């Protein structure tokens, strides 16, 4: 009996990896615009409609974290803070948390 050499069943010639990420947080939606926190806010969506470009080509909305631990789209919380200086969810004084943790 001779030695049998096993040939691979298939050969990978090309591989296109796809990765998905998301923030680790307990709240999935921006409480101001009600959009998913990983999606674009209403301002960015309106800008997209006005400029008629592919929204996937636009950079994502920046997420703004407060010292209280709540997160919102930066555009949404910036508009909110023009009239009220408190967190929309718990009415504590709004302070940005730079590290987002």
Domain assignments of the chain as residue spans, ordered by start: 26-101
- DSSP state for residue 41 in the 8-state scheme: -
Q: Give the chain's end-to-end CA distance (angstroms, integer).
A: 65
Whole-angstrom distance, CA of residue 51 vs CA of residue 23? 28
Whole-angstrom distance, CA of residue 53 vs CA of residue 56? 9
Q: What is the pTM of this model?
A: 0.65
Mean pLDDT, the chain cut into blocks of 10 residues (101 residues total): 80 86 74 90 80 58 88 93 95 85 54
Six token digits for residue 96 = 């940005």
Task: Supply the CATH classification number for the domain 26-101.
Answer: 3.30.40.10
């Amino acid at each position: 009996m001779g030695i049998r050499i096993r040939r691979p069943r298939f050969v990978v010639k090309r591989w296109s990896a796809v990765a998905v990420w998301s923030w680790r947080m307990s709240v999935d939606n921006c409480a101001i615009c009600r959009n998913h926190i990983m999606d674009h806010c209403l301002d960015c969506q309106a800008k997209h409609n006005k400029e008629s470009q592919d929204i996937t080509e636009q950079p994502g909305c920046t997420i703004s974290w407060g010292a209280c631990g709540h997160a919102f789209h930066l555009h949404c919380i910036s508009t909110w803070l023009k009239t009220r200086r408190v967190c929309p969810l718990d009415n504590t004084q709004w302070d940005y948390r730079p590290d987002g943790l």
